[in-house]
Chains A and B, each alone.
Chain A
Amino acid sequence: MAPPAQTVRSSSPSQPSGKGEVSDLKLQLRQLAGSRAPGVDDSKRELFKKVISYMTIGIDVSSLFGEMVMCSATSDIVLKKMCYLYVGNYAKVNPDLALLTINFLQRDCKDDDPMIRGLALRSLCSLRVANLVEYLVGPLESGLKDSNSYVRMVAVIGVLKLYHISASTCIDADFPATLKHLMLNDSDTQVVANCLSALQEIWSSGAATSEEASRERETLLSKPVVYYFLNRIKEFSEWAQCLLLELVAKYVPADSSEIFDIMNLLEDRLQHANGAVVLATIKVFLQLTLSMTDVHQQVYERIKAPLLTLVSSGSPEQSYAVLSHLHLLVMRAPYIFSSDYKHFYCQYNEPSYVKKLKLEMLTAVANESNTYEIVTELCEYAANVDIPIARESIRAVGKIALQQYDVNAIVDRLLQFLEMEKDYVTAEALVLVKDLLRKYPQWSHDCIAVVGNISSKNVQEPKAKAALIWMLGEYSQDMQDAPYILESLIENWEDEHSAEVRLHLLTAVMKCFFKRPPETQKALGAALAAGLADLHQDVHDRALFYYRLLQYDVTVGERVVNPPKQAVSVFADTQSSEIKDRIFDEFNSLSVVYQKPSYMFTDKEHRGPFEFSDELGNLSIGTESVDTTVPVHKVEANDKDLLLSTTEKEDTRGPINDGAYSAPSYDGSLVSLAAPQTQPEVATSNPSVKEHSQSSFAIDDLLGLGLPAAPAPAPSPPSLKLNSKAVLDPSTFQQKWRQLPISLSQEYSVSPQGVSALTTPQVLLRHMQTHSIHCIASGGQSPNFKFFFFAQKAEESSTFLVECIINTSSAKAQIKVKADDQSASQAFSSLFQSALSKFGTA
C-alpha cells in the first residue's frame, strides 16, 4: 500500500482533501475494533498503513484517535508499532484521548518480551502531554533497572524526554543521579552514550539557574570521567565516539605528557572511514595543542592526508562538509598547504558551492613558488561556461595579484581578460585593475593603455562602470579621451540608474577638471547641474558640495579632490580575527560551513555542545587521580565571572564587526590606512575603502579630543623583569585564560592625565607596549574601555594575563591578573600599575 501521493499533493493539514477517506477509515476501524475473527490482524494492518500514509503526507487523521486506540489491543507487533507511531504523533493535540493510551502502554511496559517493553516505554515517553507525567515515573524507574539493555537504552532517553515535559518531575525523581550512576557503571556502551547525551542536555539547560547543575556539568569534564570514556572509546558505536570526542575536546589536560597520551590513543581514529569521527578527532588534536605551537603545526601536517581522502571519497555532500573544514584550516595556515594547491583545483562537474571554496583556498595558498601555476589554472576557469565561477576566478586572480610582490605576470593576464571581449569578464577585470592601481600605482602606464581601449558602451555593470569612471578621473592626464568619454557619460545622466555610478561620475569629472580644465569645463558644468537636480540625496549633496567648494576656493577644491595619494598597502579583511578564532573554536560544527560563529545564526539555547561561552563555564582545573569514580569539583568563582565577561563581549560586538574588539595587528592596519590624505576622497571611491574610512573617522574624531598631558609622579620600578618581545597568539591566550584561575583582582585610580590621554584604546596599548606589556585585544569607547594584555617574564616563559577595564569618568581601572606563576602576580601587578600611572605623562 503506497501513500497516494499523486492524488493528494498538499502537505498542509488544513487541506480539506482526504476528508471522505478519513471518515471511511473511521468506520472500517470501528468494525474491526472488537472483532476476534481470524485474519483480522491483516485487515487492521492494511487500514493502519493507510492511516500512517495519510499522516505522512500531512492529512490530519487525528480524528481517528479513539478508533486507533480501540484497535490497539493486539499481540501483532507490526500493528503495535504502527499504533505507537500514530499515538506519538497525535497525543499532544489530543491530551484527553491520550489518557486512553496510558493503560495499554503501561501494560506493555511490563510485557515479557523486552522489545515490547522498550517500544511501549519509548511511546509512553513520547506522548509529550504535561498532565500525564505522573504515569511516566514508575515505568521509567523500572526501565532504568531493566535487565535488558535495549529497555535501559530507551529508558535513559525517556528520562530526557520527561525532563523536557516536566523538569521538576524529572529532578524530583532523582533521575539525573541514576543516569550518572548508569553512565559510569553500565556494561552496554549505547546505554552509557545515551546517559552522557541526556546528562549533557539536562545539566546544560539547568546550569543557568542551578549551581548544582553547572557543577555536575563540570564533573563530566573531569579527568576520571574523560579517561573512563577514552579507555573504552573503541567499544562505542561510531556515532557515540563522536559524542565522546566532542567531550574530550573540551577537556583541559594537566600537562603535555597527558596531551600526548590522549593523542596517541586517538591516533588511529584519523583513519576512520566515517568523516564525522575523523573531524571530531581532529578537533581534539587541535584544541589540545593550541598552546604548543610546534606540535600544533605537526597536527596540521598529520591531518592533511586524511582530510584530503575524505574530501575525495564519499558523496558530494559529505565531501563538502569536510572541505569546509579544510577550507578553515587552509585560511588559518595557508603556508602549510602551499604545496597541496593542486588538490584545490576545481573539477568541471563539481557544484558551485564546492568550486567557490576551492577558489578561496587557491587564492590563500598562492606564494612565490606556485603562483604561476595557480594563476594559469584560474585563467582556464575564466573562460568557463559557468559564469559565476568564471567571475570568481577572475576575482581570485586579482586577489592573488594584490597579495603578491611580483605582480608582473599577473598584470599581463588581467589585461588579457580585458581583451577577451566577454562582458562579464571585462566587468570583473575592470574592478580588479582599479584595485590593482590603487595598490601599485606604478603599473598605471600599462593598464591605462589597455583600459583606454575599452568602449564604455560595453560596460554595463555598475561596479565595473564605477571602476572605469574612477580610472578615467584618476588618470585623465594619461588618457587622451578621458574628458570626452566623461562628457558623453554625463549626457546620458538620466539613463544612469545606479547612484554609485553617478557619484563616481561627479568625482571623476571634478578630478579631470583640475587636470585638463579647458576640455572639461563644459562637462563639469553639465554634471553639477545634473547632480543638483538629482533626486538621489547623496548625489545631490555631493554635487552641491563640489559646487560650493569651487565657489569658495578653487585651489582648496583641488586639494580636496586631487590630493597626493598613498598606495593602499593592505585591503581590509572582511572578517575580524576574533570572529575567525571563534569559528575555529567551534570546529566541527555548522559555524564552519556557514563561516559565522554560532551566535550569529542560532539562538542561545540551541548552540549545542559547541558553544563558546558554554565551554568556558564547563572548564575545570584539576588533577584528581583516575581511580575515583565519582569525582567532585568546585566551581571556580572566576569561571563564572569569565562567562559573564564573554557574554558582555558578545553583546557589544554584535552589530559592528570590526573596531570594537579587534586584535592589535588588525588595528594597526586600520590606523595606517586612516591616513588623512585619502580622507576627503574616500567617500567617492569603492566600498572597500568606505569600510576603512568609517572606522578611521571614528578614530580621528576621538583623536581630536586628545588633550595636552601633564607629568605625574612616577612610582619606583619593581624588581620583576619582563620580556619586551613576548609573543602569544590569541587562541593560546584564550586557552590559558580559560585554564588559569584569577590570582589577583585589583582596582587602581587612573591619573587625570591618563584619563584625558585615553581617547582610544590604541593609545594605551602603545604606551603599555613600551613597558613590555602587550595587548591581545581591546575595545570600547569613552568612558568605558576594555583591554586584554599579556606579558612574559624575561628569563622564563612564564606568562601573565590581564583583563583591564578602565572607566574614564570615574577614573578607575579594574584589573584581573592570571598567571602561570601565581607567586609573581603581586610583583607584576605593581609593575602594571606603575606602567599605567605613567600613561599620559609622556
Chain B
Amino acid sequence: MISQLFVLSQRGDNIVFRDYRGEVQKGTAEIFFRKVKFWKEDGQEEAPPVFNVNGVNYFHVKIVGLLFVATTRVNVSPSLVLELLQRIARVIKDYLGVLNEDSIRKNFVLVYELLDEVMDFGYVQTTTTEVLKSFVFNEPIVVDAAHLSPLGPAGLFMQGTKRMPGTAVTKSVVANEPGGRKREEIFVDIIEKISITFSSSGYILTSEIDGTIQMKSYLTGNPEIRLALNDDLSIGRGGGSTYDYRGSFGSGAVVLDDCNFHESVRLDNFDVDRTLSLVPPDGEFPVMNYRMTQEFKPPFRINALIEEAGAPKAEVILKVHAEFPSSITANTISVQMPLPKYTMRASFELEPGAVGQTTDFKQANRRLEWNLKKIVGGSEHTLRARLTFSQESHGNITKESGPVSMTFTIPMYNASKLQVKYLQIAKKSGTYNPYRWVRYVTLSNSYVARM
C-alpha cells in the first residue's frame, strides 16, 4: 500500500507528484529532499534507500540523477517498493525513449497517465509496457537526442561515448519512426560487470562476474523467440558457497554460480539444450541475470608502485596492461589512486606519444586521476607521477596510498565466455526477417588493486 509516488529533480523540484491514498501529510517531498541532502552533517554518508521520518517511510531510487520516491505509513516489503520504483522508471523510459529530467518534464501528462494505471489506491495494477499501451493516449514528445549519437546499433559502440547498449536504444515503444512504419528489430545485450580485487602482489583475491542478458524488442505481434546459450553451460557450484578456482578455466566450460529469469522465460528445454524460449513483452527487460565466481582472465592487469624519491618527495608508477585480444578496444578508462594526505603537489609524465590521455590531481581528497580514451587489446600504458609532500617525516607511504581502482567499458567482449549462440524468431512469413542485434559489453564494477 503505497501512499504517494513522486519524481524529484536533482534540485528537489517536483516533476510529477501523485497521491494515491491521501494518508500522508503534505510536504513530504520537501521533508524527503532535505533528509536526503543533509543525511549526515559531514556529507560523508549517503542516505539509505529506505528511511522513516515521523512514521512515514520513504523509499527512493536514483536514476539518471532523478529521484523516484514512494511513501507509505504501512510496514510493506521494501524489496517490492524498490523493485516497483525501478520498474516504473523503466516503463517511463520505454515510452519516452530517453529517460531524463527534460523528457519527463516535456511528457509529464503522459507520465501521469502511466502512474494512474500502474497503481490504484496504492496497489500495483500492472507494470507491463504493452498492457499500458491501451491506456496511454498522449503522444510522447521525443526530446532532442541530437547530442546523443544517431540511433541504431552502429552508433552504440562508437569510441568515447559513455552510453551503454540497451540504454542506448532511444526509441519509444509507441512512437513511429520518421519514415512512418515501425522498424522490426530486436536487441539482445549481454552486459557483464566485473569485480576483481588484486592483492599487492598481483594475485587475485576475489573475482566475480555479474551478468545480465537484456532484451529490448520492437517486434510487432510478439512472436516467440528462442535463445540458445553455450551447450556446456552449467549452473550451480555447490550452492554457490564455494569460492575455489577448480581448474575449469581454459577447458571452455562456463560454470555459473546461479542465475534467475524473467517471468516470460520458459525453461522447458533449458536442461536439455540450454535454450530459453519466451514471448518477449514490449520494451526493455532482463531475460536472465547470472553470477559467476569461476576463474576468468581479468581484462586488465594493474601495477602500482610508490617510492620515496628523496624527502619530501615520492614517485608513483602506474602500469595498466590490457590482456584481451588486439581486435578489441576498451574505452572511457579511468584509473584512480588515493595519495597520502600530506601530498601537496603532483606532476605527471605520460608515456611518449600518448594520445587521448589526461591526468589530474584532486587536491580536495588527495586523489590521482588518470583518464584514457581508449586502450587497444594487448597494449600497455604507463604513468609516472612525482609527488611533493608537505612534511619531511611521514609514515609508511605505501600503506597510506591506494588502493588503485579502475573503471572501463569494453564493447564486444565478455569475460565469462557466456554466449548467445543463436536467436531464433518464430517466422510469420517467408519474407519476415527482422533485424536482430546481439551485442556484448563488459563494464567494471569494482576493479581494485591494493598497494
Pair A308/B240 contact, Cβ less than 8 Å: yes
Q: Which of B61, B84, B105, B124 contacts A2 (CB 8 A)?
A: B105
Q: Which of B82, B239, B445 contacts A347 (CB 8 A)?
A: B445
Which candidate, B115-123, B151-159, B168-176, B314-322, is the interface stretch facing chain A? B115-123
The residue of chain A having its C-beta at the shortest distance from the C-beta of B63 within the complex is A315
Pair A306/B260 contact, Cβ less than 8 Å: yes
Q: Which of A49, A154, A324, A386 contacts B78 (CB 8 A)?
A: A324
Pair B258/A306 contact, Cβ less than 8 Å: yes
Complexed CA–CA distance, A315 and B61 (Å): 8
A304 within 8 A of B: yes
Excluding A301-B241, A309-B260, A316-B49, 13 further A-B contacts by CB distance (< 8 Å) are A2-B102, A11-B30, A157-B120, A274-B263, A279-B79, A312-B210, A315-B86, A317-B85, A317-B86, A388-B44, A589-B78, A590-B76, A602-B73
Pair A320/B48 contact, Cβ less than 8 Å: yes
Pair B50/A92 contact, Cβ less than 8 Å: no
The 7 lowest CB-CB distance pairs between A and B, nearest first, are A347-B446, A305-B240, A276-B80, A317-B49, A305-B258, A239-B124, A313-B289
B177 within 8 A of A: no
Complexed CA–CA distance, A385 and B125 (Å): 45
Q: By DSSP majority rule, is chain A's interface helix, strand, loop, or mixed?
A: helix
Q: Which of B29, B289, B445 contacts A273 (CB 8 A)?
A: B289
B426 to chain A, nearest CB (A): 22
Pair A275/B83 contact, Cβ less than 8 Å: yes
Complexed CA–CA distance, A309 and B212 (Å): 11
A321 within 8 A of B: yes
27 contacts between A and B (CB under 8 A): A2-B102, A3-B15, A12-B27, A115-B135, A157-B123, A238-B263, A239-B80, A272-B263, A273-B261, A273-B288, A279-B77, A305-B258, A310-B260, A313-B210, A314-B289, A347-B445, A348-B446, A349-B445, A350-B446, A351-B45, A383-B399, A420-B395, A421-B395, A602-B75, A607-B74, A608-B75, A608-B76
Pair A388/B45 contact, Cβ less than 8 Å: yes
Q: Which residues of A contact B26 (CB under 8 A)?
A: 13
Complexed CA–CA distance, A313 and B83 (Å): 12
Pair A154/B79 contact, Cβ less than 8 Å: no
B108 within 8 A of A: yes
Which candidate, A50-58, A98-106, A731-739, is the interface stretch facing chain B? A50-58
A614 to chain B, nearest CB (A): 10
Taking CB atoms and an 8 Å cut-off, the chain A residues in 286-311 that contact chain B are 301-302, 304-306, 308-310
A286 to chain B, nearest CB (A): 14
Complexed CA–CA distance, A816 and B124 (Å): 44
B448 within 8 A of A: yes
Pair B257/A608 contact, Cβ less than 8 Å: no
Complexed CA–CA distance, A81 and B450 (Å): 58
Taking CB atoms and an 8 Å cut-off, the chain A residues in 569-620 that contact chain B are 586, 588-594, 598, 601-603, 606-608, 610-611
Q: Which of A278, A594, A611 contacts B260 (CB 8 A)?
A: A278
B365 within 8 A of A: yes
Q: A194-B123, A606-B73 are in contact. Are A275 and B105 (CB under 8 A)?
A: no
B228 within 8 A of A: no
Q: A85-B116, A603-B55 are in contact. Are A313 and B212 (CB under 8 A)?
A: yes
Pair B19/A313 contact, Cβ less than 8 Å: no
Q: Which of A197, A312, A349 contacts B291 (CB 8 A)?
A: A312
A375 to chain B, nearest CB (A): 14
B362 to chain A, nearest CB (A): 12
B73 to chain A, nearest CB (A): 4
The residue of chain B having its C-beta at the shortest distance from the C-beta of A357 within the complex is B48
Complexed CA–CA distance, A238 and B77 (Å): 14
Pair A160/B49 contact, Cβ less than 8 Å: no
Pair A239/B109 contact, Cβ less than 8 Å: no
B257 to chain A, nearest CB (A): 6
Per-residue CB contact flags for chain A residues 105-138 toward chain B (1 = under 8 Å, else 0) read 0000000000100000010000010000000000
Pair B44/A387 contact, Cβ less than 8 Å: yes
B442 within 8 A of A: no
Q: Which residues of A contact B1 (CB under 8 A)?
A: 201, 608
Which candidate, A338-346, A394-402, A555-563, is the interface stretch facing chain B? A338-346
Per-residue CB contact flags for chain B residues 19-37 toward chain A (1 = under 8 Å, else 0) read 1001000110110000000
The residue of chain B having its C-beta at the shortest distance from the C-beta of A237 within the complex is B126
A356 to chain B, nearest CB (A): 9
B427 within 8 A of A: no
Interface residues of B toward A: which range? Answer: 35 or more
Q: Which residues of A contact B195 (CB under 8 A)?
A: 347
Q: Which residues of A contact B338 (CB under 8 A)?
A: 385
A242 within 8 A of B: yes
B446 to chain A, nearest CB (A): 3
Complexed CA–CA distance, A13 and B27 (Å): 9
Q: Which residues of A contact B125 (CB under 8 A)?
A: 153, 190, 194
- The CB with the most chain A CB atoms within 10 A, among B108, B210, B241, is that of B241
Pair A353/B48 contact, Cβ less than 8 Å: yes
Q: Which residues of A contact B243 (CB under 8 A)?
A: 339-340, 342
A600 to chain B, nearest CB (A): 10
Q: Which of B14, B75, B84 contacts A589 (CB 8 A)?
A: B75
Pair B57/A590 contact, Cβ less than 8 Å: yes
Pair A309/B259 contact, Cβ less than 8 Å: yes
Q: Which of B86, B116, B399, B445 contacts A314 (CB 8 A)?
A: B86
A89 within 8 A of B: yes
B236 within 8 A of A: yes
Pair B15/A5 contact, Cβ less than 8 Å: yes
Per-residue CB contact flags for chain B residues 309-341 toward chain A (1 = under 8 Å, else 0) read 000000000000000000000000000001000
Taking CB atoms and an 8 Å cut-off, the chain B residues in 189-244 that contact chain A are 195, 197, 205-206, 208, 210, 212, 236, 239-243
Q: Which residues of B contact A301 (CB under 8 A)?
A: 239, 241
Complexed CA–CA distance, A386 and B48 (Å): 16
Q: A190-B125, A590-B50 are in contact. Are A321 and B78 (CB under 8 A)?
A: yes
A276 to chain B, nearest CB (A): 4
Taking CB atoms and an 8 Å cut-off, the chain B residues in 39-69 that contact chain A are 44-46, 48-50, 52, 55, 57, 60-63
Pair A309/B289 contact, Cβ less than 8 Å: yes
B386 to chain A, nearest CB (A): 22
Q: Which residues of B contact A347 (CB under 8 A)?
A: 195, 445-446, 448
A515 to chain B, nearest CB (A): 35
